[in-house]
């Protein structure tokens, strides 16, 4: 019942849906750099949450559309078997922790079959720390300076203000 209930929830500071996995294996180095940046931003925003959700577990669900239909359902896009094998806690932690301080200690990646389509749920346990990036980060839409802290407000990611950083800590 956990997964069906999760799929009915709206995106929030502790929940994010992605229709597809990040293009980390692209032939284009610029695409890889931008997609790694996007992954890092998404994971750290969920790890930090915001002052209202500090201490809560967060989830990044891959293979599920972020739009909810009029019937209240999300489209299960699914990820391929090859992709699901590439989505591992070790790989994500290695990518994130190259530019994260303090390092994320752990997370979990679990595969589920829904309507014969595979989805991956990345679980980010609560952290007693505020995680910031330690070097410039590039995403498809913009770049961020070192020492940026990402937070989530509803379904949007933003950079934390000084006040917010203090409140979360």
């994260």: which residue's tokens?
Answer: 100
- DSSP 8-state secondary structure symbol assigned to residue 20: S
pLDDT of 135 reads 97
Q: What is the pTM of this model?
A: 0.95
Taking the chain (169 residues) in consecutive chunks of 10 residues, what is each chunk's mean pLDDT? 89 95 95 97 95 90 91 90 91 97 96 94 94 97 96 93 89
pLDDT for position 97:
98
* Sole residue written with tokens 């203000």: 161
Residue 143 has what pLDDT? 97
- The three-state (H, E, C) secondary structure of 73-119, written as one string: CEEECCCCHHHHHHCCHHHHHHHHHCCEECCCCCCEEEEEEECCEEE
Q: Using DSSP bridges, classify how beta strands 58-62 and 15-18 pair: parallel, antiparallel or unpaired.
A: parallel
Q: Report in angstroms the alpha-carbon separations of 97 from 37, 57, 100.
A: 12, 19, 5
Percent of the chain that is helix, strand, coil (3-state, to 5): 30, 30, 40
């Amino acid at each position: 019942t956990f997964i069906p209930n999760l799929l009915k929830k709206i995106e929030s500071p502790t929940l994010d849906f992605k229709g597809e996995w990040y293009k980390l294996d692209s032939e284009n180095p610029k695409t890889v750099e931008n997609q790694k940046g996007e992954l890092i931003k998404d994971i750290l925003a969920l790890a930090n949450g915001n002052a209202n959700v500090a201490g809560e577990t967060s989830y990044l669900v891959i293979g599920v559309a972020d739009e909810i239909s009029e019937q209240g359902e999300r489209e299960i896009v699914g990820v391929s078997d090859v992709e699901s094998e590439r989505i591992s806690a070790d790989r994500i932690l290695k990518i994130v922790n190259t530019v994260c301080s303090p390092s994320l200690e752990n997370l979990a990646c679990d595969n589920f079959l829904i309507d014969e389509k595979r989805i991956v749920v990345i679980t980010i346990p609560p952290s007693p720390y505020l995680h910031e990036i330690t070097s410039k980060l590039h995403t498809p839409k913009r770049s961020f300076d070192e020492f940026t802290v990402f937070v989530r407000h509803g379904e949007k990611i933003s950079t934390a203000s000084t006040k917010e950083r203090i409140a979360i800590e």
